[in-house]
Amino acid sequence: MNQQQHAQEARHVAPEVLLVINDKDEITHLVCCRDRSWEIGFCGAETGHVNLHAEIICSMCIEVVGPKALEQNICPVDDRPCPAGEEFDRLIRERTWG
Residues at the contact surface with Zn ion, assessed by CB under 5 A: 29, 32-34, 41, 43, 45, 58, 60-61, 75, 77
Q: Identity (one letter) of the amino acid at 10?
A: A
Min dist. Cβ of residue 41 to Zn ion (A): 4
Which among 17, 15, 41 has a CA at the least distance from the CA of 28?
Answer: 41
- Identify which of residues 20 and 74 has a Cβ nearer to Zn ion in the complex: 74
- Identify which of residues 54 and 58 has a Cβ nearer to Zn ion in the complex: 58
63 in Cβ contact with 55 (< 8 Å): no
Q: Identity (one letter) of the amino acid at 63?
A: E
Min dist. Cβ of residue 13 to Zn ion (A): 19
